[in-house]
Amino acid sequence: MWELTKSFRFEAAHSLKGTTLGESSEEIHGHSFRAEVTVRGTPDPATGMVMDLGLLEQKIAAIRSALDHKFLNKIEALGVPTLENLSRYIWEQVQGAGNVTRVSVHRDSCGESCTYFGPSS
């Protein structure tokens, strides 16, 4: 069994109310995000690949377009723009691009990340 991970970056702004960070969190502020989408499988004997990365890249391009240089609070399907909801949102958007096992979203400048493994059974 193999896992194949594709990462991408985007820049976005948000505001979060009700945290212990107070005003610095409530004001509109931006972050550089790095997301990773991981798929699991066995390489196809004909291609030698777990999946055609072009399919995954198409999904990622659409996600990046929806998130990059956007105010995340305005993306209704995202909900409150937390790392948790970003990882879930990306998971939902990338479905159909192979056997997705996890999506991680990182804010490297803050030393924070969150990984979503899909809905509980």
- Could you report the per-residue pLDDT of 57-103, keeping only the tens digit for each? 999 999 999 999 999 999 999 999 999 999 999 999 999 888 999 99
pTM of the prediction?
0.90
Domain enclosing residue 100, as ranges: 2-116
Looking at the chain, which runs of residues are DSSP E strands? 2-14, 29-41, 70-71, 100-107, 112-116
Q: Which of 76, 63, 69 has the alpha carbon at shortest distance from 36?
A: 63
> Any known ligand binding at 29?
yes
Q: Residue 121's pLDDT band (boundaries 50, 70, 90)?
A: low
Q: Is residue 121 part of a domain?
A: no
Q: Is residue 38 part of a domain?
A: yes
> Any known ligand binding at 69?
no
> Any known ligand binding at 31?
yes
Number of independent structural domains in the chain: 1
Main-chain dihedrals φ then ψ at residue 33, nearest 5 degrees: -110, 150
CATH code of the domain covering residue 7: 3.30.479.10
Q: Is residue 77 part of a domain?
A: yes
Q: Is residue 94 part of a domain?
A: yes
